A and B are shown apart, each in its own frame.
Chain A
Amino acid sequence: MKKGKALETEVAEHKQEEIAFFGKITAAATHEMKNVLAIIKETAGLMEDLVILSPEMPASLREKCQSTLSVIQNQIKRGVDISDHLNWFAHCTDVPTASMDLSTTAAQMIHLAQRFARLKGVVLEVEPSEASITVQVRPVFLLMTLFTCIRCCLNALSPGSRIVLAPEEFDTGSAFSFLLKEKDARPDALFSALSADAAWSDLQQMVAALEGAVQWVPDGPCIRLQLPEPLA
């Protein structure tokens, strides 16, 4: 007979397998995507060469082609960048625990969540810290917590606001601060909007799974995500 605890572990393990499987598929897909983008890049490069080497080409067309191809090159770069971020994210699901650099994580997260912020008309920024802060966590949990927190903020903030993600170090441990910069908004109204959001309870759960804590700092205002203290 399986006891409740064992069942919980089984489910968690099973879920971990599922996440790992998902990560593998995503990693494979981004890898392939980068390959195809590289092919496009080469093809576009070939075309640029051809344009230069074709004196017979009508001048107007030549100009048009050159500008078009440079746009294509830029877009390829953009595509590769996004693929890289996704690939980084996919690999985060592989390991049960890892040492994560908070600044890098914040930068990656900003890119990953960029689209969600853009659709809401919110600017997402990172405030790099001078010191390199690392923390030992389960990467996928940390990323999910950050993402859930960003989602929460996006749901509560009005368009034109800014979220500044800042890694911080305190005596008690390290934390992520989400500084919420909204035009003429009262912090308590913001907080009630935040806590009313469905993602807020998800955030609580995620933070619990991460063994961290979440704090509302009205002075700022900011959400402070306390990370688990290192075991040492």
Chain B
Amino acid sequence: MAESRWWQYFKPNIFDPGEDLQSTDRYRLLRRNIVVLMMLVTIIPLTLMAVINYHQYRSSLTDEIINPMRLLTSKTKHSFELFLEEKLSTVRFITSAYPVETLANEKNLNRIFRVLKKEFGGFVDLGLIDCKGIQVSYAGPYDLLAKDYSDQAWYHEVTIRGTYVSDVFMGYRNFPHIAIAVQLGNEECDNWVLRATIDTSLFDNLIAAMGLDAESDAFLINDKGVFQTNSKFYGKVLEKCPFLPPPGNYGIHIEEEMDPKGREVIVVYTHLENFCCNLVMVKPKSVVLKTWFTLKSEMFFIFIIGTIFILLTIFKMTGVLVKKTRDADERRELAFRELEHAHKLSSIGRLAAGVAHEINNPLAVINEKAGLMKDLLERAEPFDKKEKFMEVTASIQKSVERCKTITHRLLGFARRMEVQFELLDVNDVIREVLGFLEKEYLYRGIEIRLELDENLPQISSDLGQLQQVFLNILTNSFSAVEDNGLVIIRTWEEDPETLGVSIEDNGCGMSKETLDQIFEPFFTTKKGYGTGLGLAITYGIVQKLGGRLKVESQEGEGTIFYVFLRKAPPSNTGELR
């Protein structure tokens, strides 16, 4: 209930902006309303879809792009860890394989160092530090023998944790190193330490192996944010890095940040195990989301094109729709005004019919008088000239009969101005209408062939209107045929409710275009043909009578008009008031 009420409220506002408005305003409003409504129902879902798609694509695309970064970082992290682990195990192996005494011997240490350099590479030096923190033996390029490490932090850490991997530091030759220290012990003391220094230039190889593009960067920083390797854009080893790793052990962390150059970048942090160090990979967003941006602009482009297309379609369609509505309204209006006028002027028909009827009275009297004379003559004794008298009386009666035909025809015709339903024989109506046109078709030698179904049932219809219909169609047919042409009129029972009438001519026929326009108001092929009544009126009348009108035509061969009439009057005759 509520819904229907709502709809009833809604509907007239949208599609019928009030009868009382000026007609042009009405159609403008109608047009506006339809355009707005159609735009709402098309553009809103389209926009919604575009927005949802945008977000979905973005999130899935971001994942697709970030994931490889994550993978790459993780792979490289493993390489680093493997590298360090390898170095660490090597040093550990030495501590396990050789007793402190062997390592304390400088000659042995040198030999081991040589093997290390040869077999593993990357080792810069190797030294043994005793329990007191004094380097007791050393193999390598520097003179570090007897150096005291006892007060250094890393030395204490080794004695507590067993192993130690240092941050990068610049060695004496001014290139970056890391130091690996492993605790070992003998009978007297547990705190011996074997310390190896490793060249970190190998780190650069690992980073290079990531195969990064020109815009991207990868480097190591320690937990305090100090570079452990050189960075392409952000600084050298041991300089302060603009990015700070998240605290603690966190696996892989991804962050969107602004770099010091003001670029939007995606930063992937990962913590290296056993090495207080973080691998950082930096990629500018523009590079990362290049595909996304392309897709985005494509989507935007399609959206705009689609919207323009929809708008054009809406405007075009609405234009056509409103025009059709307007045409239909105008046709209805025309029919309505026709009827209004017919009503106003129906008194003409009434007056004429009354007067024509009045003529019937003297005719009836003359008829009876003549008949009486005939009766009397017939009954009288034979006398000279009796036959002559009979003949003359008969001729008077014949003339009266002629006059009667005229008045009846006129009466029928006069009544066409009035609108009312009555029982009619369609065949009679056709014959009557042909009577009006007798002069024309006889004069032009047009052959009228009647193929009427004599068992045709009567129909309830308006005589005047029906006469008008046939008159219009016949006038049309007559103007289409040449002199001595042929017009065939047929009637039949189409179905239990309908009668069919066809009027066929062998005239000039109509082109497809003419056929399409023939029922348009004010359409005419010849200015002022026949009665000057357009076939639109005929069409309107047939519809008003609850019937149908159909035309078939072949150019150059002729035209057939079909009129289908209902036997019962339409129930909604009040439609046009």
A adjacent to B, CB under 8 Å: yes
**CB–CB A39/B399 < 8 A:** yes
A128-177 interface with B by 8 A CB criterion: 140, 143-144, 147-148, 151
**CB–CB B351/A113 < 8 A:** yes
Chain A residues within 8 Å of B537, by CB: 14
State the interface size on chain B (CB cutoff 8 A).
Answer: 66
Binds A, one of B46-54, B223-231, B332-340: B332-340
> Could you tell me the distance in whole angstroms from the C-beta of A106 to the nearest C-beta in chain B?
15
**CB–CB B406/A72 < 8 A:** no
Chain A residues within 8 Å of B449, by CB: none
Closest chain B residue to A21, Cβ basis = B531
B354-403 interface with A by 8 A CB criterion: 354-359, 361-363, 365-366, 369-370, 372-373, 376-377, 380-381, 383-385, 388-389, 392-393, 395-396, 399-400, 402-403
B147 at the A interface (CB under 8 A): no
Chain A residues within 8 Å of B532, by CB: 14, 17-18, 21
**CB–CB B334/A7 < 8 A:** yes
Closest chain A residue to B352, Cβ basis = A26
Top 7 closest pairs, chain A to chain B, by CB: A75-B362, A79-B362, A17-B532, A29-B410, A56-B383, A11-B337, A78-B362
A70-95 interface with B by 8 A CB criterion: 71-72, 75-76, 78-79, 82-83, 85-86, 89-90, 93
**CB–CB A72/B399 < 8 A:** no
* Contacts A26-B352, A56-B385 known; 11 new A-B pairs at CB < 8 A: A3-B23, A4-B333, A10-B522, A17-B532, A21-B531, A22-B352, A39-B399, A40-B396, A112-B351, A148-B347, A206-B347
**CB–CB A7/B372 < 8 A:** no
Given known pairs A11-B334, A82-B355, the reply for A46 and B392 (CB within 8 Å) is: yes
**CB–CB A33/B344 < 8 A:** no
> Could you tell me the distance in whole angstroms from the C-beta of B469 to the nearest C-beta in chain A?
14
**CB–CB A82/B359 < 8 A:** yes
Q: Residue-by-residue, is B1-33 near A (CB-CB < 8 Å gives 1, otherwise 0)? A: 000000000000000000000011000000000
**CB–CB A68/B369 < 8 A:** yes
State the interface size on chain A (CB cutoff 8 A).
Answer: 68
**CB–CB B369/A72 < 8 A:** yes
Closest chain B residue to A116, Cβ basis = B354
**CB–CB B380/A61 < 8 A:** yes
Identify the interface centre among B344, B362, B376: most chain A CB within 10 Å of its CB: B362
**CB–CB B407/A33 < 8 A:** yes
B34 at the A interface (CB under 8 A): no
B390-425 interface with A by 8 A CB criterion: 392-393, 395-396, 399-400, 402-403, 406-407, 409-410, 413-414, 417
A101 at the B interface (CB under 8 A): no
Chain A residues within 8 Å of B383, by CB: 54, 56-58
Chain A residues within 8 Å of B296, by CB: none
A196 at the B interface (CB under 8 A): no
**CB–CB A26/B341 < 8 A:** no
A229 at the B interface (CB under 8 A): no
Chain B residues within 8 Å of A30, by CB: 410
A97 at the B interface (CB under 8 A): no
B533-559 interface with A by 8 A CB criterion: 533-534, 537
Partner of B385 from the list A3, A54, A143, A209 (CB cut-off 8 Å) is A54
Residues of A within 8 A of B (CB): 1-4, 7-8, 10-12, 14-15, 17-19, 21-22, 25-26, 29-30, 32-33, 36-37, 39-40, 43-44, 46-47, 50, 54, 56-58, 61, 64-65, 68-69, 71-72, 75-76, 78-79, 82-83, 85-86, 89-90, 93, 112-116, 140, 143-144, 147-148, 151, 202, 205-206, 209
Complex: how many Å from CA A1 to CA B330? 10
Chain B residues within 8 Å of A90, by CB: 352
Complex: how many Å from CA A68 to CA B366? 9
**CB–CB A22/B351 < 8 A:** no
A–B Cβ pairs within 8 angstroms, 10 of them: A3-B24, A7-B334, A14-B532, A21-B531, A40-B403, A54-B384, A54-B385, A75-B365, A79-B359, A205-B344
Chain A residues within 8 Å of B351, by CB: 89, 112-113, 143-144, 147
> Could you tell me the distance in whole angstroms from the C-beta of A176 to the nearest C-beta in chain B?
16
Given known pairs A36-B402, A43-B395, the reply for A93 and B348 (CB within 8 Å) is: yes
B436 at the A interface (CB under 8 A): yes
Complex: how many Å from CA A114 to CA B532? 33
Complex: how many Å from CA A37 to CA B399? 8
Identify the interface centre among B388, B389, B399, B400: most chain A CB within 10 Å of its CB: B399
B326 at the A interface (CB under 8 A): yes
Complex: how many Å from CA A40 to CA B370? 10
**CB–CB B399/A43 < 8 A:** yes
B345 at the A interface (CB under 8 A): yes
Chain A residues within 8 Å of B380, by CB: 58, 61
**CB–CB A44/B396 < 8 A:** yes
Identify the interface centre among A4, A15, A43: most chain B CB within 10 Å of its CB: A43
Closest chain A residue to B359, Cβ basis = A82
Partner of A86 from the list B342, B343, B355, B376 (CB cut-off 8 Å) is B355
Partner of A202 from the list B337, B341, B344 (CB cut-off 8 Å) is B344
**CB–CB A85/B410 < 8 A:** no
